[in-house]
Amino acid sequence: MTKPFTRILFGGDYNPEQWPREVWDEDIRLFKMAGINSATINVFSWAKLQPDENTYDFSQLDEIVALLGRAGIDIVLATSTGAMPAWLAKKYPEVTRVDFEGRRHLYGGRHNHCPNSLVFQKYAGRLVEQLARRYGGNPHIVCWHISNEYNTGCYCENCAKAFRVWLKKKYGTLEAVNDAWNTSFWGHTFYDWDEIVPPSILSEGMDFGGLRKTNFAGMSIDYDRFLSDSLLENFKMERDIIRRYDPDTPVTTNLMGTYKGPDYFKWAKEMDIVSWDNYPAYNTPWSYTAMCHDLMRGLKGKPFMLMEQTPSQQNWQPYNSLKKPGQMRAQSLQTVAHGADTVQFFQLRRSKGGCEKFHGAVISHSGSSETRVFREVARLGKELAGLGGSLLGAESPAEAGVLFDWDNYWALEYASGPSADLTYCDQIHRYYRCFYNRHIPVDMVPVDGDLSRYKVIAAPVLYMVKEGVAEALARFVRQGGVLITGFMSGIVDESDNVHLGGYPGPLRELCGVWAEEIDALAPGQQNTLRFGDWTEAGCALLCDILHPEGAETVAQYGADFYAGTPAVTRHAFGKGTVYYVGTQPDEAGLAKILDMAVQDAGARPAIADETALEVTRRVKDGKEFLFILNFTGAEQPVPESLRGETDRLTGEKLPEIFPPFGAALVVREA
Ligand SMILES: [Zn+2]
pLDDT on residue 209: 82
308 is catalytic: yes
Give the whole-angstrom CA distance, residue 236 versus residue 647: 43
pLDDT on residue 390: 97
Q: Is the peptide bond before 506 cis (omega within 30 degrees of 0)?
A: no
- Render pLDDT for 174-213 as a digit per residue (tens, 0 to 9): 999 999 999 999 999 999 999 999 999 999 999 888 889 9
pLDDT on residue 196: 98
Domains 9-97+115-152+231-386 and 400-601 share a fold: no
pLDDT on residue 210: 81
Q: What residues contact 60, with CB distance under 8 A and at least 6 apart?
A: 17, 48
Instruction: Report DSSP state, residue 659.
Output: P
For 266-285, what is the mean pLDDT?
97
Query: Which bin fits 200, alpha (ψ -120 to 50), beta or left (φ > 0)?
Result: beta
Chain mean position to CA 351 = 27
- Render pLDDT for 212-244 as a digit per residue (tens, 0 to 9): 999 999 999 999 999 999 999 999 999 999 999
- Render pLDDT for 468-486 as a digit per residue (tens, 0 to 9): 999 999 999 999 999 999 9
Active-site position among 17, 157, 195, 308? 308
pLDDT on residue 267: 98
pLDDT on residue 1: 77
> Residue 152: is its pLDDT beyond 80?
no
**Domain 9-97+115-152+231-386 part of CATH 3.20.20.80:** yes
175 is catalytic: no
Query: Which bin fits 241, alpha (ψ -120 to 50), beta or left (φ > 0)?
Result: alpha
Are 469 and 445 in contact by the 8 Å Cβ rule? The answer is: no
- Calculate what percentage of the chain has a pLDDT beyond 90: 99
pLDDT on residue 211: 85
What does DSSP say about strands 456-458 and 536-548: parallel, antiparallel, or unpaired?
unpaired
Distance 633 CA to ligand 1 centre (A): 47
3-class SS at 74?
strand
**How do the domains of the chain map onto residue ranges?**
9-97+115-152+231-386, 400-601
Tally Cβ neighbours within 10 Å of residue 452: 11
Give the whole-angstrom CA distance, residue 480 versus residue 289: 31
Chain mean position to CA 3 = 24
> Could you please report the per-residue DSSP string of 408-437?
HHHHHHH---S-TT--HHHHHHHHHHHHHH
- Phi then psi for residue 142, to 5 deg, are -105, -10
Distance 100 CA to ligand 1 centre (A): 11
Which has more confidence, 574 or 670?
574
Q: How confident is the model at residue 539 (pLDDT cuts 50, 70, 90)?
A: very high
> Could you please report the per-residue DSSP string of 544-600?
EEEEESSPEEEEEE-SSTTTTSEEEEEEEETTEEEEEE-EEE-HHHHHHHHHHHHHH
Helix %, strand %, coil % for the chain, to 5?
35, 20, 45
**C-alpha distances in Å from residue 344, one per residue of 82, 111, 272, 336, 594:** 19, 22, 18, 11, 35
Distance 389 CA to ligand 1 centre (A): 44
Distance 53 CA to ligand 1 centre (A): 21
- Phi then psi for residue 419, to 5 deg, are -140, 135
Partners of residue 531 on adjacent β-strands? 555
Q: Determine the straight-line distance between the first and last CA of the chain, rounded to whole angstroms.
A: 28
Name the pTM for this structure. Answer: 0.98
pLDDT on residue 374: 98
Length of the chain: 670
Q: What residues contact 110, with CB distance under 8 A and at least 6 apart?
A: 44, 82, 83, 148
- Render pLDDT for 364-419 as a digit per residue (tens, 0 to 9): 999 999 999 999 999 999 999 999 999 999 999 999 999 999 999 999 999 999 99
For 293-311, what is the mean pLDDT?
98
Are 540 and 567 in contact by the 8 Å Cβ rule? The answer is: no
**C-alpha distances in Å from residue 100, one per residue of 109, 198, 212, 589:** 16, 9, 9, 40
CATH superfamily of 400-601: Class I glutamine amidotransferase (GATase) domain (3.40.50.880)
Residues around ligand 1, an ion, CB closer than 5 A? 114, 116, 154, 156, 158-159
Chain mean position to CA 116 = 25
- Render pLDDT for 607-634 as a digit per residue (tens, 0 to 9): 999 999 999 999 999 999 999 999 999 9
- Calculate what percentage of the chain has a pLDDT beyond 70: 100
Q: Please name the amino acid found at residue 602.
A: G
Distance 115 CA to ligand 1 centre (A): 6
- Render pLDDT for 437-476 as a digit per residue (tens, 0 to 9): 999 999 999 999 999 999 999 999 999 999 999 999 999 9
> Residue 533: is its pLDDT beyond 80?
yes
Active-site position among 149, 376, 383, 645? 149
Distance 135 CA to ligand 1 centre (A): 31
> Could you please report the per-residue DSSP string of 284-301?
--HHHHHHHHHHHHHHHT
